[in-house]
Amino acid sequence: MSKEGSLEAPTRHPIPWTDPDFLDAGKIDAELRRVFDICHGCRRCFNLCDSFPRLFDLIDDSPSGELDSVDSAGFKSVVDACTFCDMCFMTKCPYVPPHEFDLDFPHLMLRYRAAEQARGENGFRETQLAMTDRNGKWAGLMPGLANWATAESNFGMRNILADVGGIHREAALPKYHGKTFMDRAADSPAVNTNAPGHGRGVVIYATCFANYNEPAMGTAARAVLARNGVESQVVYPACCGMPQWEQGNLEQVAKNARKIAAEMAGWIDRGNAVIALVPSCALMLKFEWPLLLPDNEDVARLSENTYDITEYMVALAKEDGLADGLTTLEGGVTLHLACHARAQNMGAKGAEMLRLIPDTDVTVVERCSGHGGAWGIMEQNFDVALKVGKPAARLALKADRPWVVSECPLAASHLRQGMERLAPPEKPDVPRTAAHPILLLAHAYGLQEIEG
């Protein structure tokens, strides 16, 4: 007898991306209809993102009011709205495996996009944006010019960028640096030999975002680790592939996964934990790569030995204790719990880490920012992204803390924009945002000032 929901922990199947049936248009459509009909009968996910309202509107506006009279051409709008936040799978859906309905909405959206990718139907603009390593290297050659051209206040260039690149004129875009995190890693911070955690060693996977766009995250992480006796090395073979994942380019993701996992194997053999600085990248290394390459031993070992930076700091505090020297963040902090941090199923580690700072109140906002990686900056998505993120921005304003921080750097800047639009005229100033809570921990130690 089928039950309404499964009482067992959600599980995921390996992704059969090399099986010809995986890309078969007819089989994809049949699976879409099977899954969408279940969603139609449930509707618990109506307020998570724009995919589900689009789906339910398609059905409700159809001649029969049921899925059977919905044209399959309309399904693309549902797929296009998915940002792979994984919240429907992790927090809402009662029918995920091992339930007999076997419903994995995000991976079905991935399958649809993989088929589009195989048919050469991906948009040129989106494909170019997903090339983060190339873009970071090019912009890093002239970071001043790149940042000037993409500044929100540069109306002329942003209009050109909108016409040519399809990027919304008002969307906040990441900044670039001529001196990357890998460049800065040549200067290693002195390790505190008197710290309780002395003797530990880690290798930091820099991630494309920390390397090119927010190197201060990386230097802050190394400084905090060193204060706590942990020796760190920095490695960056390539992007984790999350931007390519969003495009359905699974072959490129698998290529990057093999390359990075092979390079990390030696570090793991020498007893190092692997730390990812961005939750989306940690999610890829821990969970998505093993589903994409289930027979790759290097990928499996990397998954078992990878930590999100906040997860590692909390474990260090519990197992060894932290070094002295943390000072209170006056007025407290609002932490946005990023979707890809939640999807790691590790608990609210960002909040736990910030609560290690003495006498510092931490308010947690557990709602999606709406950004969704490159999705939220596009002209057709930006207003929807702000709408989805409005509850999170409203809660952050209501908390009225001096700082708002997210474990996802893109979410942090997106929340700032949302708060600026919601702020009342009598109180237009919004809290200061930080790109990642590790920056606040470094700040509380007096190790590094926060840029911007």
Residue 29 forms part of a structural domain? yes
356 and 332 fall within a common domain: yes
pLDDT of residue 6: 52
333 and 383 fall within a common domain: yes
Domain boundary among the residues 133, 165, 197 is at 165
- Please tell me the distance from the alpha carbon of residue 50 to that of residue 351, in angstroms, as a whole number: 27
Q: Kindly list the distances between the CA atom of residue 127 and the CA atoms of 81, 245, 246, 249, 263, in Å, as whole numbers in the listed order.
A: 17, 11, 10, 9, 26
Q: Where do we find the tokens 């991306």?
A: 17
360 and 338 fall within a common domain: yes
Q: Please tell me the number of Cα atoms within 13 Å of 403 on its side-chain side.
A: 26
Mind listing the pLDDT tens digit for each residue in 101-141? Answer: 999 999 999 999 999 999 998 888 888 888 999 999 999 99
229 and 308 fall within a common domain: yes
Residue 449 forms part of a structural domain? no
313 and 428 fall within a common domain: no
Count the Cβ atoms, other than its own, within 10 Å of residue 195: 22
Residue 171 forms part of a structural domain? no
pLDDT of residue 189: 94
Q: Where do we find the tokens 């002295």?
A: 324
Mind listing the pLDDT tens digit for each residue in 184-217? Answer: 999 999 999 999 999 999 999 999 999 999 999 9
**How much of the chain, in percent, has pLDDT values that exceed 70?**
98
- Tell how strand 432-434 and strand 403-406 pair up: parallel
187 and 138 fall within a common domain: no
Residue 13 forms part of a structural domain? no
End-to-end C-alpha distance for the chain, whole angstroms: 58
Residue 377 forms part of a structural domain? yes
213 and 276 fall within a common domain: yes
191 and 282 fall within a common domain: yes
pTM of the model: 0.93
Q: Kindly list the distances between the CA atom of residue 13 and the CA atoms of 31, 288, 363, in Å, as whole numbers in the listed order.
A: 15, 10, 35
**Buried/exposed 27-37: b ≥16 CB within 10 Å, e otherwise:** ebeeebeebbe
With beta carbons less than 8 A apart as the criterion, state whether 336 and 411 touch.
yes
CATH label of the domain that carries residue 406: 3.40.50
Residue 144 forms part of a structural domain? yes
212 and 335 fall within a common domain: no
Q: Kindly list the distances between the CA atom of residue 90 and the CA atoms of 11, 15, 86, in Å, as whole numbers in the listed order.
A: 10, 17, 6
Domain boundary among the residues 277, 294, 318 is at 318
pLDDT of residue 125: 82
197 and 305 fall within a common domain: yes
Domain that holds residue 212: 181-318
Residue 452 forms part of a structural domain? no
Provide the domain count of the chain: 4
294 and 412 fall within a common domain: no
Token pair, residue 144, equals 């001043």
Q: Say how far residue 52 (Cα) sits from the centre of its chain.
A: 20
If you count DSSP H runs as helices and E runs as strands, how many of each does the chain have, helices first? 23, 8
Side by side, which strands form the sheet with 403-406?
Answer: 362-365, 333-336, 403-406, 432-434
Q: Which residues does the chain have with pLDDT short of 50? A: 1-5
25 and 112 fall within a common domain: yes
Residue 14 forms part of a structural domain? no
Count the Cβ atoms, other than its own, within 10 Å of residue 199: 12
Domain boundary among the residues 101, 132, 165 is at 165
pLDDT of residue 17: 97
